Amino acid sequence: MLQNMPFWPARASAAANNVDALFIFLVVVSGLMTALIFTMVVYFAVRYRRQAGRRAEQIDGSHALEITWSVIPFCVFMVFFAWGAVIYFRQRTPPQDSAEVYTVAKQWMWKFEHMEGQREINELHVPVGRDVKMIMTSQDVIHSFFVPAFRIKQDVLPGRYTVTWFHATKPGTYHLFCAEYCGTSHSGMVGSVVVMEPKDYEAWLTGGGNQPLAVTGERLFSELGCITCHRSDTPGRGPNLVGVFGKPVMLEDGRTLTADENYLRESIVDPSAKIVRGFKPIMPTFQGQISDEQLNALVAYVKSLGPSQSMPTGGKSMAAAPTETQ
Amino acid sequence: MHNSPAATATHEAHQNPAHLHHFATAQQQKDAASLGMWLFLVTEVMFFGGMFCAYLVYRYWYFGDFGAASKSLAIELGAVNTAVLICSSLTVAMAVRCAQVGKQKAMVVYLLLTIALGLAFLGIKGIEYREKFVQHHVPGQASFHLDEHIPGHPDTPVNQQHAQVYFSLYFAMTGMHALHMIIGVGLFAFLTYQAWKGAYSPEYYTPVENAVLYWHFVDIVWIYLFPLLYLIDRHP
Amino acid sequence: MATAVVEPGERETYLNREYGIKSWLLTVDHKRIALLYLAGITFFFFIGGFFALLIRLELLTPAGDLVQADTYNKLFTMHGQVMIFFFLIPAVPAVLGNFLIPIMIGAKDLAFPRINLLSWYLYIIAGALMLYTILAGGVDTGWTFYVPLSTEFLKTNVITAAVAVFISGFSSIFTGLNFIVTIHRMRAPGMTWNRLPLFVWAHYATSIIQVLGTPVVAIAIVLVALERLFHLGIFNPTLGGDPLLFQHLFWFYSHPAVYIMIVPGMGIVSEVVCCFSRKRIFGYQAMAMALLGIAVVGFLVWAHHMFVAGISVYAALIFSLLSYFVAVPSAIKVFNWTSTMYKGSITYQTPMLYAFGFIGLFTIGGLTGLFLAALGIDIHVTDTYFVVAHFHYIMVGGMVMAYMAGMHFWWPKISGRMYPEGWGRLAALIVFIGFNLTFFPQFILGYMGMPRRYWDYSRAPEFQILNVLSTAGATILAVGYLLPMVYFLWSMRYGKPAPDNPWNAAGLEWTIPSPPSTFNFDEQPVVTWEAYNYDEIKGEVPVAQ
């Protein structure tokens, strides 16, 4: 029903249903509240207009009323809060085995890199029915990845990764907007997300002949000399990276953290920030020597180093069976 | 009150600064001035507070680098400056006391001493700043280099970028403080002149009191700045 | 010079006591300073409004065909900076607050008249610097100055704009400081806190926010300027800094700032609704506490501007929860104003029409704030026209309407003349219609996905029809604002002379002549009555002339 309503944005993701439901609830409650206030103001203005012989009746107030119209709205607000919080929490927690797309935003374009190696500019092809996680960074200023049809938005920052995800439910082409003012062509940083049926998506994938992202990363890992210290066969001067992603890491100052994309990225561009316990701070920094895309490839490679894998097959690609809707 | 133009014009021209006409009593005026000054100091707390907030965040993130950068500051000069300011708070409190009991000459002397101590502080700060320039510890310059290691980790060199963040905050915070000192010295120069002319008496010394409050505030900011900037992670 | 030119038989007022430019530029009379501010803020209102018109004209068509992209970016930046810092923040406090607060509490002037004048000069210097920025090619950072865009990537007049905002901040701080001390120390005998008009309470709450919040944005701006000038890395991630730190420092002030803008307007609405309902306010204590509650809780919600900026999920949850807390006192106020009308004796003079408009539009604006506080919704609508519509409903539908209500209500007192009531009502109606037509479609545009600050939307032509409606509304709104300019000026010469109390209103300002004499009261009043003593005041509002 909503699909055909004029001025309603396309609904093409699992999240869109939840967001629209809360929105409609808010519209209804707000509409009722507005109607109530408007009606009362107009009614009082007319009913209690000045009339000869009648004076205004002074009423100091009413504690009961004050409490009532504080508590009841507050309870309603808590419903809004809780519902909104649930949606948000889900939106900020990408499912574990989402397919991944690395994104580099720059003035004024979107650069996407699929795990299979496809690169796209301003256009993002995804299959319907799969969880897709966007791992994003900016080359310059703050941008924001906004797909109205999916009801998602996430600022994209320089110097770190931010993450968002979606589960497309309807094939079609949808707007992609940059939603954080980023200079002259902010309004030109517009593209599309093309949602395809799985078999169409497979066909699109194979028409590339690209090197999977993690394989590119493996090549870089060797070319840049990472492999000399980070060995998996014998203990090296750097920590063994096999299976490191997603696991706790103990640092030499006693802190423990989970190795996520940002940790991997930071370890490459600012290695002295966090030293793994038992190792010396001898790793050189690669900041300024590799591009964001190369950084993405290295991160994708390290992520692919699972304990049972000997060859990188490219992290989570989308050319696998669709997962259930969240 | 009189509404005839001549009367009001004369009245304004000869207003007693101790009893401005829009106040009902001298006490009301004194209370208002006092409250106003405290409120102004609250705004100053919020003003410096923003920088302290930035400092706290980065110190937490880059503790080792901040420790290394802090070591490069001249702790002796900082300590001397701290002593200088504390002494100046004493002289300034004495100045108010003299105003309260009507000792005009002594008040002028104490005010002059305060100015001298303030200028001494600024002079020493100038020396420290020059040191920083000479040692290439000025952030944002291509020649920046801090040749230090993380305290407690002799084989870990400091991260130059994080050290620059430290120095950016160092210059911003001590620079803002120094600016407030300069304004304070200027204020006290004016006050000294007024005091010498006999403008202050036990009945009316509000400007002295308020300026002294300002001076104490600037002193307290330094009492926070000194340990936070100079004494991070110092070892004997 | 100070030549008093009072004709025999003519009463001396603050206006005719002295003539000559020096008597104005060196005045310490709070009433004259209020008029000096009135000139400034009116000037900047029309500058900001002119930029808005250009924006709306550009958005009539999807393509960017009126101005260039860089120009458009400057237009929305300067529209925001001018309207926020040079109109909305000073308008009510520095004009109506300055004029009325001493009189309302029975004092002869503010606590620090010379600081009051200094505040005006700071405002003018800041304004001149802003004008220079505009004429020297403008600035295009967005009024929010986000880094690293504003520190590393733009080549426009960022520093001069930043300094202009910085200086205007100190004008605001000193005004707030002045009001707090005045309200604490200069109330006439018998004018207890519980007898203060809510207009005074509102300015007290506003002043607290001004004093505590403004210095933080001042330092944020200083750090941005230093970073830009000296290539520092406080906020720049490639140099070790964090861009989100700027956002926190910026919004720590800029959220309370929106309460600086709206709370004085709420004070006005209380005065107007009481007078034109002939009733004391419903729930005086609750209304006063609500003002303070908004001021305090308003400091705790700033990161609701950053839900998608990259803050942690837990921080987002906390700020969303707190944002719902701050909505409660505002809701209480709307209910109390409505209840004040109950069993009143209501007339529809222009101030009351604007007050009605305020109640309705502030309700809508506030309710849409609840949408934004809901995290799941905010992901979709933040940085879109939904937000633009939300804050314009509060700022224009709320604040500017309240300002108009206040200007009309107190115009007789300020100028000694009545404005033409028929034209006043017509303008109010035009403003109401124009406003809703301009901004309601923007809620829909936002939910559809039109982002803010877009010069060109030719890739999404489906946005056009709503943009055309919005622009049509804007032209109507412009007419609605031009009318009062014209008839207020007209009334200064040809308006009917105003009596002391044309509205038969409660409040000390109505016990003195219109316009007041320089020192307000012949004798210091001694207050023995409660606020809004409409039960004691005989008579209704005199029929409109």
B interface test, pick of A160, A252, A272, A283 with most B CB neighbours within 10 Å:
A272
**pLDDT, tens only, C221-280:** 999 999 999 999 899 998 889 999 999 999 999 999 999 999 999 999 999 999 999 999
Contact flag A160-C237 (C-beta cutoff 8 Å): yes
* Helix and strand element counts for chain C (H, E): 17, 0
3-state SS, residue B96: helix
Q: Is C318 exposed, middle or buried (0-12, 13-18, 19+ CB in 10 A)?
A: middle
In whole angstroms, give the CA distance from residue C44 to residue A43.
38
B interface test, pick of C185, C211, C524, C526 with most B CB neighbours within 10 Å:
C185
**pLDDT, tens only, C333-370:** 999 999 999 999 999 999 999 999 999 999 999 999 99
SS3 of C240-297: the string is CCCHHHHHHHHHHHHHHHHHHHHHHHHHHHHHHHHHHHCCCCCCHHHHHHHHHHHHHH
Cis peptide bond upstream of C256, omega within 30: no
In whole angstroms, give the CA distance from residue A234 to residue C544.
95
Q: Which residues 134-163 of chain B have a CB within 8 Å of chain A?
A: 153, 155-157, 159
Q: How far is CA A39 from CA A35, C293, C333, in A?
A: 6, 28, 17
**pLDDT, tens only, C159-190:** 999 999 999 999 999 999 999 999 999 999 99
Residues C141 and C159: beta-carbon distance below 8 Å:
no
Residues 6+ apart with CB under 8 A from C124: C40
Question: What is the mean pLDDT of the segment spanning A23-41?
Answer: 96
**What whole-number percentage of chain B has pLDDT above 70?**
93
List chains touching B (3+ CB pairs under 8 A): A, C
Rounded to 5°, the CA angle B29-B32-B35 comes to: 150
In the CATH scheme, what is the code of domain C21-511? 1.20.210.10
Between C71 and A313, where is the model more confident?
A: C71
Query: Which run of H or E residues covers position C339?
Result: helix C313-341
**pLDDT, tens only, A278-308:** 888 888 889 889 999 999 999 999 999 976 4
Q: Which residue of C has its CA nearest to A158?
A: C237
**What whole-number percentage of chain A has pLDDT above 90?**
73
In whole angstroms, give the CA distance from residue C257 to residue A79.
28
Query: Which run of H or E residues covers position C422?
Result: helix C421-448
Q: Is C46 exposed, middle or buried (0-12, 13-18, 19+ CB in 10 A)?
A: middle
Question: What is the mean pLDDT of the segment spanning A108-130?
Answer: 94
In whole angstroms, give the CA distance from residue A183 to residue C70.
8
Helices A14-47 + C350-373 axis angle, to 10: 160
Q: Cα–chain-centroid distance for residue B145?
A: 30
Contact flag A280-B159 (C-beta cutoff 8 Å): no
- What is the per-residue pLDDT for C7? 63
Residues A152 and A177: beta-carbon distance below 8 Å:
no
- What is the per-residue pLDDT for C275? 97
Q: Does A31 touch chain B (CB under 8 A)?
A: no
In the CATH scheme, what is the code of domain A213-304? 1.10.760.10
Residue C472 has pLDDT above 70, yes or no: yes
In whole angstroms, give the CA distance from residue A25 to residue A31.
10
Question: How close, in Å, is residue C216 to chain B by CA atoms?
Answer: 5
A interface test, pick of C66, C312, C377, C540 with most A CB neighbours within 10 Å:
C377
Q: How far is CA C512 from CA A228, B38, C501, C515, in A?
A: 89, 33, 8, 8
Tokens for C312?
Answer: 């942690």
- Residues of C whose CB is below 8 A from A108: none
Half-sphere exposure of C285 (CA within 13 A, CB side): 6
Residue B33 has pLDDT above 90, yes or no: yes
Contact flag C308-A153 (C-beta cutoff 8 Å): yes
Contact flag A187-C535 (C-beta cutoff 8 Å): no
pLDDT band at A273 (very low <50, low <70, confident <90, very high): confident
DSSP symbols for A34-88: HHHHHHHHHHHHHHTB--TT--PPP----HHHHHHHHHHHHHHHHHHHHHHHHHH
For residue B99, the one-letter residue type is A
Tokens for C456?
Answer: 């060109």
Question: How close, in Å, is residue C99 to chain B by CA atoms?
Answer: 15
For residue A293, the one-letter residue type is E
Residues A166 and A132: beta-carbon distance below 8 Å:
yes
Between A257 and C545, where is the model more confident?
A: A257
Residue B103 has pLDDT above 90, yes or no: yes
Contact flag B159-A273 (C-beta cutoff 8 Å): yes
Contact flag A280-B155 (C-beta cutoff 8 Å): yes
- The pLDDT mean for chain A works out to 90
Residues B33 and B26: beta-carbon distance below 8 Å:
no
Question: How close, in Å, is residue A40 to chain C by CA atoms?
Answer: 7
In whole angstroms, give the CA distance from residue A172 to residue C419.
59
Q: Which residues 182-201 of chain A have a CB within 8 Å of chain C?
A: 182-188, 190
Furthest-apart CA pair in chain A: how many Å?
Answer: 101
Residues C232 and B140: beta-carbon distance below 8 Å:
yes
Domain positions in chain C: 21-511
Cis peptide bond upstream of A108, omega within 30: yes
Question: How close, in Å, is residue A295 to chain C by CA atoms?
Answer: 15
Question: How close, in Å, is residue C118 to chain A by CA atoms?
Answer: 36
Between A70 and B156, where is the model more confident?
A: A70
Q: Which residues 44-103 of chain B have a CB within 8 Å of chain C?
A: 44, 46-51, 53-54, 57, 62
Residue B165 has pLDDT above 90, yes or no: yes
Question: What is the mean pLDDT of the segment spanning B2-10?
Answer: 42
What is the residue whose two structure tokens read 């793994």? A276
Please give the backbone phi and psi of residue A181, each rounded to the nearest 5 degrees, phi first. Answer: -50, 125
Radius of gyration of chain A measured on its C-alpha atoms: 26
List chains touching C (3+ CB pairs under 8 A): A, B
- Residues of C whose CB is below 8 A from A160: 237, 310
**pLDDT, tens only, C62-98:** 999 999 999 999 999 999 999 999 999 999 999 999 9
Q: Does C318 touch chain A (CB under 8 A)?
A: no
In whole angstroms, give the CA distance from residue A180 to residue C448.
17
Q: How far is CA B155 from CA B148, B162, B194, B235, C124, in A?
A: 10, 17, 60, 17, 57
- Dihedral sign, Cα of residue C450, residue C456, residue C458, residue C462: positive
Q: Which of C345, C370, C535 sits opposite A26 (nearest CB)?
A: C370
Q: Which of A270, A280, A282 sits opposite B159 (nearest CB)?
A: A270
**pLDDT, tens only, C11-55:** 899 999 889 999 999 999 999 999 999 999 999 999 999 999 999
Q: Which residue of B has its CA nearest to A272?
A: B159
Q: Which residue of C has its CA nearest to A153?
A: C379
Please give the backbone phi and psi of residue A109, each rounded to the nearest 5 degrees, phi first. Answer: -155, 160
Question: What is the mean pLDDT of the segment spanning B133-162?
Answer: 88
Least Cα distance to C386 among C401, C364, C402 occurs for C364
Residues 6+ apart with CB under 8 A from C250: C144, C145, C217, C220
In whole angstroms, give the CA distance from residue A292 to residue A101.
14
Q: Fill in the DSSP letter of residue B92.
A: H
Cis peptide bond upstream of C515, omega within 30: yes
- The pLDDT mean for chain C works out to 95
Q: Which of the residue ranges A87-91, C4-8, C147-151, C426-430 would you say has the lowest mean pLDDT?
A: C4-8
Cβ-based contacts under 8 A for chains A and C: 273
**pLDDT, tens only, C90-130:** 999 999 999 999 999 999 999 999 999 999 999 999 999 99
Question: What is the mean pLDDT of the segment spanning B51-72?
Answer: 93
- What is the per-residue pLDDT for A310? 39
- Residues of C whose CB is below 8 A from A40: 338
- What is the per-residue pLDDT for A62? 93
Q: Which residues 240-259 of chain C have a CB within 8 Å of chain A?
A: 243-244
Question: How close, in Å, is residue B105 to chain C by CA atoms?
Answer: 30
Level-2 CATH architecture, domain B34-230: Up-down Bundle (1.20)
- What is the per-residue pLDDT for A287? 87
Question: How close, in Å, is residue A44 to chain B by CA atoms?
Answer: 43
Domain positions in chain A: 213-304
Half-sphere exposure of C196 (CA within 13 A, CB side): 26
- What is the per-residue pLDDT for C8? 66
- What is the per-residue pLDDT for A319? 52
Q: Which residue of B has its CA nearest to A282?
A: B156
A interface test, pick of C61, C143, C359, C370 with most A CB neighbours within 10 Å:
C370
Residue A203 has pLDDT above 70, yes or no: yes
A interface test, pick of B148, B149, B153 with most A CB neighbours within 10 Å:
B153
Q: Does C12 touch chain A (CB under 8 A)?
A: no
Question: What is the mean pLDDT of the segment spanning A231-241?
Answer: 85
Q: Which of C346, C376, C455 sits opposite A49 (nearest CB)?
A: C346
In whole angstroms, give the CA distance from residue B80 to residue C156.
44
Q: Cα–chain-centroid distance for residue C491?
A: 24
- Residues of A whose CB is below 8 A from B159: 270, 272-273
Question: How close, in Å, is residue A67 to chain C by CA atoms?
Answer: 9
Query: Which run of H or E residues covers position C124?
Result: helix C113-135
pLDDT band at B236 (very low <50, low <70, confident <90, very high): low
- pTM of the predicted model, to two decimals? 0.93
pLDDT band at B151 (very low <50, low <70, confident <90, very high): confident
Q: Which residue of C has its CA nearest to B164?
A: C233
Contact flag C219-B48 (C-beta cutoff 8 Å): yes
In whole angstroms, give the CA distance from residue C359 to residue C372.
20
Q: Which residue of A has its CA nearest to C346?
A: A49
Contact flag A77-C460 (C-beta cutoff 8 Å): no
C interface test, pick of A160, A187, A285, A287 with most C CB neighbours within 10 Å:
A187
Residue B9 has pLDDT above 50, yes or no: no
Between A107 and B19, where is the model more confident?
A: A107
Residues C474 and C392: beta-carbon distance below 8 Å:
no
In whole angstroms, give the CA distance from residue B209 to residue B216.
11
For residue B133, the one-letter residue type is F
**pLDDT, tens only, C288-339:** 999 999 999 999 999 999 999 999 999 999 999 999 999 999 999 999 999 9
In whole angstroms, give the CA distance from residue A239 to residue A219.
19
- Residues of C whose CB is below 8 A from B8: 17, 518-519
